[in-house]
Amino acid sequence: MRTCCLVIITLVLAACSSKSQQPPPAAVATGETDARQICGACHLAANVVPPGPDGKHVDQSDVNQFVARPMAFDQLRGLPTAAIVMTLERGAMRDVGATLTAAQRIAIAEYLGGSKYDPRGPTGHYCADNGDLARDLAGPSWTGYGNTLENTRFQSAAMAKLTATDVSRLKVKWALGLAHGRQGSNVTVAGSRVFVGDQAGVVRAIDRASGCTYWAFNAKRWVRTAVDLHRTGDRTLACFGGSMLPDAYYCVDAATGEKVWESDLVDFPVAYVSTSATLHDGTLYIPISTGRELHRSASDPKYECCKGRGALIAVDAATGKVKWRTYTTPEPKPTQKSAEGTQLWGPSGASAWRVPVVDAVAGRVYVTTGQNASAPATKTSDAILALDMKTGEIVWSYQLTADDIFNGSCLDRDKQGAKRNCPFVPKTGGVDPSTPLLKKLPDGSRLLIVGDKTGRVIAFDPDKGNAVRWDKKVSPGGYYGGVHWGMAVDDDQLYVPVHDRDGFEGQISELGYLAGGSHKPEAGSLVALRLTDGVEVWRASGAADSCAGKPKSCAKAFSSPPTVIPGVVFATSLDGHVRAFATKDGAVLWDFDTAQEFATVGGAKAKGGSIDGPGGVVVVDGTVIVSSGYGAFFTMPGNVLLAFTLDGK
């Protein structure tokens, strides 16, 4: 996970929302008082980052100080009311929210959000009837995150029903407004049904042709996982996880949205489902992270850092019963005490942030891990692990970066020194390997491929343990760079999104801290590598003026995973554009800017923004679907799900 996540303590609120009915004056008065006294203790102080020697730029130590600060108070004003309530109740600010009454939480949210709190959530635009599920699920599909067990993100010509010649004719067919816009959830498509979750925790079953909603299930916590469909007995289940605390995983009836089972899978209070599971033969392989401890709890000098461990859990999709659970580090034990006398624990961390690959041929599951949160370092952090599919035993592992220990308190270590839970010297701030993918070559050999934030892409031979076939550097990488969510592959090439933004200069200026900022073209690109040896074939980026007239939080970086069909690779970027590139040479075949306002199927307005997160583009039966508005990490928020078809028909 990107290590500037302390900002997410507040950025999790960020969204694009139209103003609605104003709260009554009494609520405003009470909310303003509480907001300024309680929230303002941190947020009113977060106003200034000192400029560097030239009076404009900041050096890395200043950036660390900036990242460690909460969002400035004025930046909280106008964020979605319901999202603020959710964050105080179940999100990153739940510790603060626990000290407040429900009425206080709502009053604060209504003051900051500027609109009346509606606990019912979005009502949506509902279909006239529930349709015929068996009929509707038949036909072309996109399954889970990667569309295959191997996470290839490849769609065949028969399933895509779209060609390189056709893509220039793509136009918006419908737009659906999603709630509380930090969009980027994985979209699942089965026949004429589309399944997607949003930051408000609402999971919808949508008609692919019209955008109307068949049903909506409120998980009451952000759902960014894919919806996995599992046939059991006489019904089909739709299964997904929540990425807010307390942790929960659900399976509902895919026909009605009625809950079948709900399970708290974790045994640590601040652990949760970090991303999509992979479903195979009735078993869900679910990755677990401890991101809240890593980024939030560790910053408290009185917190005994750290005890959380990443994990991979195998779960029976029909019942929710856990088959096995494998942790990514040994059980933490007391190590030393901080300068303030707080007991420290380790090893910890190595969260499983990314979607697993299921290797049905070898009977293994591959999953990547992040950095350790406390010492001692382990060999299973910043690594790829191969686990036995039946038992969960770790068969082999490969570490991309050794001795990488980092937690949220390290960001302001220059100011707090040893008084924080960071007595070690952070090495990188988190390499965070991307989602792996598995691909069979024409000669019968196979490659297991992973990228990371240092800008490396590594191909292993999974049938020879952890033997490296090739290792390619595609970008400078670094603190906020490299390869983030994942890649895509066809029979000849690997498609790698590069995210190397222009430091923090532009982002800081957008928040009013410093003047200046720039939008470098080289901040991002899509790179095609020859599959057999990693040689670069071509590199493409967006137009030079794609951020013109947009906030400084606009960036040309490519972060979300690409999607490939024969002859075309779709990629998105933080400037809000979704583009189709020719696989042979990277030529732009189609370019659409989603960072604009749209009329939705329900008649309301929704707006796009940056495209980031694990979702990416889905292509099914001539329809291209993408969500826009990932309001986090200093990007442009939004709240729209878009469907494109040829000529919008």
C-alpha span between 572 and 28 (Å, rounded):
40
The residue out of 434, 463, 492 marking a domain boundary is 434
Percent of the chain whose predicted confidence (pLDDT) is above 70: 80
In sequence order, what are the residues at sequence separation of 6 or more whose Cβ sits closer than 8 angstroms to the Cβ of residue 297?
A: 270, 303, 305, 306
Q: CA–CA distance from 573 to each of 167, 287, 626 (Å)?
A: 18, 26, 12
Instruction: Name the 3-class secondary structure at 297.
Output: helix
Mean pLDDT lowest among 52-56, 315-319, 635-639: 52-56
Strands (E), 408-523: 437-440, 446-451, 456-461, 467-473, 488-489, 493-499
Residue type for position 182: R
Q: Which residues pair with 251 in a beta bridge?
A: 239, 261
Residue 385 belongs to a domain: yes
Residue 326 CB coordination number (10 Å): 20
Tell me, yes or no, whether 233 and 377 share the same domain: yes
- pLDDT category at 533 given cuts 50, 70, 90 is very high
Res 613: pLDDT: 87
Residue 335 belongs to a domain: yes
| 422 has pLDDT over 60 | yes
How far, rounded to the nearest angstrom, does the alpha carbon of residue 6 sit from its chain's CA centroid?
Answer: 15
| 187 has pLDDT over 80 | yes
Residue 357 belongs to a domain: yes
Asked if 437 and 447 touch (Cβ cutoff 8 Å), the reply is: no
Name the more confident of 196 and 87: 196
Tell me, yes or no, whether 257 and 380 share the same domain: yes
| Mean pLDDT comparison of 175-184, 377-386, 409-418, 624-633, highest-scoring range | 377-386
Tell me, yes or no, whether 103 and 242 share the same domain: no
Instruction: Name the 3-class secondary structure at 428.
Output: coil
Name the more confident of 596 and 515: 596
Instruction: Name the 3-class secondary structure at 588.
Output: strand
Residue 411 belongs to a domain: yes
C-alpha span between 274 and 224 (Å, rounded):
9
Q: Kindly report, residue by residue over 106-126, the tens digit of the pLDDT.
A: 998 888 878 788 765 555 688
DSSP line for 102-165 = HHHHHHHHHHHH-S---TT-----B-SS---HHHHH-S-EE-TTTSSTT---B--HHHH---TT
Name the more confident of 332 and 481: 332
C-alpha span between 386 and 511 (Å, rounded):
43
Residue 514 belongs to a domain: no
C-alpha span between 251 and 257 (Å, rounded):
9
Mean pLDDT of 140-158: 98
Tell me, yes or no, whether 283 and 406 share the same domain: yes
Q: Kindly report, residue by residue over 308-355, the tens digit of the pLDDT.
A: 999 999 999 999 999 999 999 999 999 998 877 889 999 999 999 999
> Of all residues in the chain, what percent are helix, strand and coil, respectively (each to 5)?
15, 30, 50
Residue 36 belongs to a domain: yes
Tell me, yes or no, whether 249 and 104 share the same domain: no
Tell me, yes or no, whether 230 and 89 share the same domain: no
Provide the H-helix boundaries in 156-303.
Answer: 157-160, 291-295
- pLDDT category at 92 given cuts 50, 70, 90 is low
In sequence order, what are the residues at sequence separation of 6 or more whose Cβ sits closer than 8 angstroms to the Cβ of residue 350?
A: 309, 310, 328, 329, 369, 370, 371, 372, 378, 380, 381, 382, 383
Tell me, yes or no, whether 90 and 232 share the same domain: no
Mean pLDDT lowest among 55-69, 200-214, 580-594, 633-647: 55-69
Name the more confident of 569 and 514: 569
Res 625: pLDDT: 98
Residue 137 belongs to a domain: no
The residue out of 434, 461, 491 marking a domain boundary is 434
Phi first, then psi: give them for residue 523, nearest 5 degrees.
-65, -20
Number of structural domains in the chain: 2
Name the more confident of 99 and 632: 99
- Domain extent for 404: 225-274+276-434
Tell me, yes or no, whether 373 and 242 share the same domain: yes
Q: Kindly report, residue by residue over 425-442, the tens digit of the pLDDT.
A: 555 556 789 999 999 999
Residue 539 belongs to a domain: no
C-alpha span between 213 and 192 (Å, rounded):
12
Q: What angle do CA 576, 437, 221 make, to 5 degrees?
A: 55
Count CA atoms closer than 13 A to 596's CA, side-chain side.
13
C-alpha span between 574 and 553 (Å, rounded):
8
| 619 has pLDDT over 90 | yes
Tell me, yes or no, whether 238 and 109 share the same domain: no
| 94 has pLDDT over 60 | yes
**Tokens encoding 265:** 């899978």
Average pLDDT, the chain: 83
Q: What CATH number corresponds to the domain at position 303?
A: 2.40.128.630
Res 18: pLDDT: 33
Mean pLDDT lowest among 135-149, 159-173, 297-311, 312-326: 297-311
Residue type for position 253: D
Mean pLDDT of 588-615: 92
| 55 has pLDDT over 60 | no
Nearest one of 452, 427, 437, 326 to 380, comparing CA atoms: 326
The residue out of 383, 406, 434 marking a domain boundary is 434
Name the more confident of 66 and 400: 400
Tell me, yes or no, whether 232 and 90 share the same domain: no
Mean pLDDT of 210-232: 91
| 520 has pLDDT over 60 | no
Tell me, yes or no, whether 300 and 427 share the same domain: yes
Tell me, yes or no, whether 107 and 236 share the same domain: no
Q: Tally DSSP H helices, then E strands, for the chain.
A: 13, 40
Mean pLDDT of 599-609: 88
